[in-house]
Structure 1
Amino acid sequence: MTSEEHRDTRRMVFGGVAEAYDAGRSGYAEPMAAEVLAYADLGDRGAVEVGAGTGKATVPFAARGVPLVCVEPDARMAEVLRRNTAGHPNVRIEVGDFEQWQPGGRRHGLLFAASAWNWLDRERRWDLVHAALAPGGATALIFGPHGIHDAGLRAALADIGARHGVKSSPHRFLARDLSGGEPGSWDQRWPEAECRRDGRFTELRSVRFGRDLRYGTERYLRHLNSLSAYRVLPAESRARALDEIGRLLDAHGGGIDVHQVTDIFLARAR
């Protein structure tokens, strides 16, 4: 299996747990949408969202009246997205891969992707973004990693994952790793360097918002169960890992305290 085929397989694992994904994921810091819209300066232009999922980033934009086209590859995720945006007639949902999506004559003032950028074809994604944007249109790439405050708990969680075959562990960060760094410093795949090499974008900017969150045991297990690193495990291995994590968190007061950052990369089409 090529790396592209592997990525295609992993990005389609979320639909099987669409309800758990919606219930377990925390979304993004409250100022995120306002920050992106202030940069985009849309006027009467609309926006397109890539990999909208169940709407964790969609709803804050929809609630502000932005005309949205949401492109989501998994029909099961899109069904939950429809429910979550039912009160927003400004939202249009199109099911399919962004790589095959056709903007037609539509050009948007904003393209955004929340925790979806790394699933896109790395050879084509900047071409696709540029083709979807009007001249001067903005792109916003949004990420939401978290770090754990308790170092001992973080190590124990990482150990459980490793023993059951979890790769790309969500437990690799301590809270201080994130709260003290710059936007994107947690991952060498931060898109700024790639965007600069592309050369068709200007006004590059990175923004960070941080917040502390408390997950109860059950919610944190739903969160982990919605992550691709856990979804790709054999069902028995995943069940054993989540059971061990549940017992560990119950023994630590019934939950976990994390620091989540919402990191945003912004750029404008020349």
Structure 2
Amino acid sequence: MRSRLFRRPNAKIGAALIAVMLIAAVFGVMYTPYDPIINNLHLRLVAPSGQHWLGTDEWGRDVFSRLLNGASISVFVSFSTVLVSVAIGALVGALTGYFSGWPSRVVMLFIDALLAFPSLIMALGVIAVFGASSTGVIIALSLTYIPAVARVVRANVLSLREKEYVEASRVMGNAELYTMLRHALPNAVAPIIVLATALFGWALLAESALSFLGLGVPPPESSWGGMLADSRNYVSDAPWLAIAPGLAISLSLLGVNLFGDALRDEFDPHMKNLV
């Protein structure tokens, strides 16, 4: 599947952009040319040069270093959000899809109620409780995306539980929970992978939006949305302050979406032979 997947142009471009984002995130943790937090007012709003590739901001901090540091924060928050959302959402969806009865219906009523709330408004409410921090953003976004994962997994498990191999497991005397975890849930992995890729892009955009509103990672830590927000007062005098994080967010989202489209096409039986 891997060789066929990477014959698709969107998979190649998407994987390349994602690789650049991940490399930037690794460098943001391990090494940056300058300290992304310490101020140096003598270098305030310096234009891009050989010494500062993307210039400096209003506090004299190197924009390239802050971009790398922001990549590590954005990737950590997005990946953690996807991990929590998929783990909890897949379990809830599998249980409610495999086991029928009033408990499943009550849980799905609660899930539907969560889906009725606009995601950003729900995230704002959760952050108001837990505070603006990486942990608060992860909890807020996870609660926002868990219902979507649960819905997708439940729909797949509802059809899978009627398959012959699931019935054969029951006839062999295996426990219902074992049958669900061993036979039903693993066969719903393909849509989960596609959805997880989309969730990563959604989480990346939502984290940037929350940081732009001042509700994400608090200063002086850097985040792409926070950098974009800080650049608003200097767009005419120092356009590089907006261009750098704006391009980082756009290209990262483009990479995730292209690769997600390739995965969807690969797992779709009507599309997988079109390369």
The structure where helix makes up a greater share of residues is 2
Structure of larger gyration radius: 2
Confirm or deny a common fold (TM above 0.5).
Answer: no
TM-score for both structures, normalised by structure 1: 0.25
Larger fraction in strand: 1
Please report the TM-score for the alignment, with normalisation by the length of structure 2: 0.25
